[in-house]
Amino acid sequence: MFKFKNTNKKDLSIYIHIPFCESRCYYCDFYSSIINEENTIKYFENLQKEILIYSDFLKDKNIKSIFIGGGTPSSVNSKYIKNILKTLKEITNIDINTEITIEVNPNSINEEKLIDYLDSGINRFSMGAQSFNDNILKSIGRVHKKDDIIKAINLFHKYNIENFSFDLMLALPYQKFEDIEESINMIDVLKPAHISYYSLIIEENTLMEKLYENKKSIFADESEDRKMYHYVVNNLEKLGYHQYEISNFAKKDFVSIHNKRYWTLDNYIGFGPSAHSNIDNIRSFNHNNLNDYSNDIEKNKLPILDFEELSKVDRINEFSIMGLRMNTGIDINLANKRFNINFLEYYKKEIEKNINNNLISIQDNFIHLTEKGRDLSNTVEVDFIRLKE
Ligand SMILES: C[S@@+](CC[C@H](N)C(=O)[O-])C[C@H]1O[C@@H](n2cnc3c(N)ncnc32)[C@H](O)[C@@H]1O
Ligand code: SF4
């Protein structure tokens, strides 16, 4: 039986999942359902209850970051978001330095919502742009157009919002090199502070998987995908975006605090269906559907489906993989101290093999992926995963 333990660590991040979208994009397997007002009202009542169950746990914590993600948080009336943040402010310690991000879609953000977001202390916006080509947007099931992105960003500029990020994707069906060039041009014009640029992953049981099975030729192959990725990395660097992780780029001072805390395995708590928590190496996973989640909350139970305690081997695995994905690399001294091991001995064989294959390098006690390693990061990561002892 799962029991939520308190922790001496005061710094905490919070993730809040909003499980609604206006429609389902063909590539996506994040948990969400199509929005309707009745479900929304009930959901926010339950979300509020879930947060209040954790009041005691939250009261002495310093909240470093809050991420309101989804689903599409901007698809719901902004009064719900406002109320949730108000509740959190009443029961825990949120201040001007807390990074508070909300994911917004270009078609569902408007001035009224934006004013509410700013009033409730939201200070970072992550916009799902995906592409600036209307035909491609349509072919992946997005309900917005290029013009909607531009309008939304003009609204940000009107309110002097500098701290906004774009989610963009490459290797989409029908996507040509010129589309990537166009996205880079639009970045230069619209000037986001941060960019997440993802290669399409074909997820199981999505419409995209069916499309891929039936029409492989409209998808970029591995070498085209890598060409697009290199073009993105090189050109973002030229525009002043520093790459800090395989898919993430930021202007100076705009690295996402929330992302970094995830990747350095710091404590976070997640609310809502499908949200995860990581408190002192205990991972817990909420139910990943609204019904089971609501049923538990209505019985005053934690809506937790499962949990696991990370063993030392699990933690070393994760520390190494996250380190490899970040441009700073694996901090060997920190690993030695944190896990009481000799990291270079522990992974002697794997490190030698990957150095010989020119996939990683060691500099100043940090292990980095080389450029070739970044293209083959999955194979390097697999080498750093040890099975449980
Ligand atoms: C939680 S999702 C969606 C946020 C928001 N609802 C939206 O659509 O703009 C965050 C980002 O993950 C990326 N993403 C989702 N599914 C993906 C996939 N199958 N392959 C690559 N990137 C994906 C998209 O760029 C998306 O914006
Ligand atoms: S990408 Fe965003 S809008 Fe599209 S289905 Fe996924 S969560 Fe919803």
What residues form DSSP beta bridges with 11? 62
Ligand nearest to the CA of 33: 2
How far away, in angstroms, is 200 Cα from ligand 1 center?
Answer: 9
Ligand 2 mean position, distance from CA 339 (Å): 38
Whether 4 shows a pLDDT value over 90: the answer reads no
In short, whether 198's Cβ falls inside 6 Å of ligand 1 is: yes
Architecture of domain 11-262: Alpha-Beta Barrel (3.20)
Domain ranges across the chain: 11-262, 330-383
pLDDT at 277 over 70: yes
Ligand 2 centroid – CA 35 distance (Å)? 12
Alpha-carbon torsion (76, 77, 81, 84), positive or negative: negative
Residue 313 has pLDDT above 90, yes or no: yes
Average pLDDT in the 109-123 region?
Answer: 98
On the question of pLDDT at 91 being above 90, the answer is yes
* Per-residue pLDDT band at 6 (split at 50, 70, 90): confident
Residue type at 266? Answer: D
Residues of the chain above pLDDT 90, percent: 95
pLDDT at 383: 95
Tokens of 172: 């989409």
**Long-range contacts, 243-246 (Cβ 8 Å, 24+):** 243/327, 244/326, 244/327, 244/328, 245/325, 245/326, 245/327, 246/325, 246/374, 246/377
Tokens for 361, please give them: 């390098």
Query: 71: which residues sit within 8 A by CB, 6+ positions away?
Result: 17, 18, 19, 20, 21, 30, 31, 32, 103
Q: Is the CB of 28 under 6 A from ligand 2?
A: yes
User: What's the pLDDT band for 1 if we cut at 50, 70, 90?
Assistant: low
* pLDDT computed for residue 387 by the predictor: 83
- Is residue 274 in contact with ligand 1, taking CB distance under 6 Å? no
Q: 343 alpha carbon to ligand 2 midpoint, in Å?
A: 40
Asked whether residue 195 carries a pLDDT value surpassing 80, the answer given is yes
- Residue-wise pLDDT for 18-43, tens only, equals 999 999 999 999 999 999 999 999 99
pLDDT of residue 7: 87
Mean pLDDT of the chain: 95
User: pLDDT per residue over 232-271, tens digit each?
Assistant: 999 999 999 999 999 999 999 999 999 999 998 899 999 9
- Written as one string, the DSSP assignment of 127-178 is EEEE-S-HHHHHHTT-S--HHHHHHHHHHHHHTT---EEEEEEES-TT--HH
Give tens-digit pLDDT for 127-152: 999 999 999 999 999 999 999 999 99
| pLDDT the model gives residue 151 | 97
Q: Which ligand is nearest to the CA of 165?
A: 1
Q: What is the number of the ligand 2 atom nearest to the C-alpha of 24? A: 5
**Ligand 2 site-directed mutation target among 30, 203, 288, most atoms within 8 Å of CB:** 30
* 286 beta partners: 304
List the structure tokens of 164: 């906004």
Q: Is the pLDDT of residue 3 over 80?
A: no
- Using CA positions, which residue lies closest to atom 6 of ligand 2? 28
CA diameter of the chain: 59
Give residue 389's pLDDT: 59
- pTM for the model: 0.96
95 band by pLDDT with thresholds 50, 70 and 90: very high
Task: Kindly state if the Cβ of 24 falls inside 6 Å of ligand 2.
Answer: yes
